Amino acid sequence: MSALRWVACLRCVSLLCVGLLVSACQVAPEDYQAAYIEELNDNQIQEVAGVIQQDLGLNAAPLLSASAFQDSPILVLAPALANTPQGKIASGRSIEPPPRFQLITIQEVCLLQNVATRVRHPLSFDCFTAKPVERSRDLWIESRNTSIPITLVQPAARKKPLPLVILIHGHGGTRHEAGGFTQVAEVLAERGIASVRMDFPGCGDSRESFSQNNLTNMLADIESAHRYAQSELDIDPTRIGLLGFSMGGRLALLYSQTTPVKTMALWAPAATDGASSMINALGGQSSYAQMKARAEDDGAVPFTTAWGQQQLLGRQFFTDIENSRPSSAVNEFSGDMFVLYGSLDQVVKPAVPQAVYKKATRASSRQIYVVEGADHGLGLFSNEAELTAQAVNETTSFFTQHL
């Protein structure tokens, strides 16, 4: 007998009772693949528990969780004991190892295998040969009688129903925000939190003109993306979070007035009432008035941002901004709030997010975080990854804790 085979047999002796020694030490190639399942439903839990009860000769089925095979194909019962509705019962002699069962698949058939005896029991449901991972999908959905682009991220199976975070980009940004929102979505998925994000009119992959970019349309698109995620995934409607960046922060606050929201994270939120923030961006009161008048006459007016973006501002863009009151949403919000901004921000100056934090007196909890040395882009558009990492890490930690 080779040394390797001798070591294998010694291992069998240590793990199994003497009566199984001969059969268990037979060395044979594996004829199966380890398998996983996203999450057992109630019927599947009962089936697996019944198989274990029968295999071990228990007088009651062990209690199993829905996530029994999510992170590993091996299920280990309590040492020499099995939990049952009647309490703990012995599964065998105390010298035996803990009962272990492995989820396997052979020719697309899902089986439960007793690791010690290698006895296999076919199961009625399907399983997978790869560990579940988060799934990110770029989709087009209907909103406002047109199609809008979204990204829906479903985490690897965890406890369900899932919490959901809606990511809302800023003025002229995209649903990925130079990779910042992509990073946030990936970390949230690792922590069992689903997310959805969308491109607003004229932004990213949108096929619409920027002239359709106004608060009314953007809020409708947030609503459409939210409802789509709710219909596609098993979402807990009491665990909805929002992340809004700049103008997205203003939108997050306004959306929270019509939709129950548990948590809200705001990155440099453009949360001043009325058009004051856009008056500054458009070059002052006189310039703003001239551009508004032209939009009213022509339907839209061209505008070049400080970053060189060419935009068409439509008539409704101006009226929506002037009529919006995000401060009232701050005063009304009763969930958990997180405010983050860069210390060097000259677009939405620090006084604005600071005021949001101070006014959120009804929030069940509130936090504020300053990214020192960051401007309005939070490192996203200046290749300062360490600044972006702060924003991503602090924000995802907030959602993990409060959502």
pLDDT at res. 129: 75
Residue 278 reports pLDDT greater than 80:
yes
> pLDDT by residue (tens digit) across 125-171?
888 777 666 789 999 999 999 999 999 999 976 567 999 999 999 99
Report the pLDDT averaged over residues 329-350. 97
Q: Which residue has the higher pLDDT, 116 or 320?
A: 320
How confident is residue 13, by pLDDT bands cut at 50, 70 and 90?
very low
Which of 43-57, 182-196, 329-343 is most confident? Answer: 329-343
Report the pLDDT averaged over residues 162-185. 96
pLDDT at res. 5: 42
pLDDT at res. 270: 96
Check the CA dihedral 155-368-374-168 and report its sign: positive
pTM of the model: 0.71
Q: Which CATH architecture has domain 135-273+324-402?
A: 3-Layer(aba) Sandwich (3.40)
- Nearest by Cα to 78 from 56, 59, 110: 56
How confident is residue 70, by pLDDT bands cut at 50, 70 and 90?
low
> pLDDT by residue (tens digit) across 302-321?
999 888 889 999 999 999 99
Where does 68-208 have alpha helices with state H?
Answer: 180-190
Give the C-alpha separation, 276 to 58, whole Å. Answer: 72
Residue 332 reports pLDDT greater than 70:
yes
Residue 219 reports pLDDT greater than 90:
yes
Give the C-alpha separation, 174 to 253, whole Å. Answer: 19
Could you give the percent of the chain with pLDDT greater than 90?
67
Report the pLDDT averaged over residues 297-303. 96
Give the C-alpha separation, 159 to 155, whole Å. Answer: 10
Report the pLDDT averaged over residues 336-345. 98
Give the C-alpha separation, 146 to 168, whole Å. Answer: 19
Could you give the percent of the chain with pLDDT greater than 70?
85
pLDDT at res. 343: 98
Residue 6 reports pLDDT greater than 70:
no
How is residue 400 written in tokens?
A: 């993990």
pLDDT at res. 47: 94
Residue 178 reports pLDDT greater than 60:
yes
Domain boundaries, the chain: 1-29, 31-122, 135-273+324-402
Give the C-alpha separation, 267 to 251, whole Å. Answer: 12
DSSP state of 179: G
**Mean pLDDT value across the chain:** 87
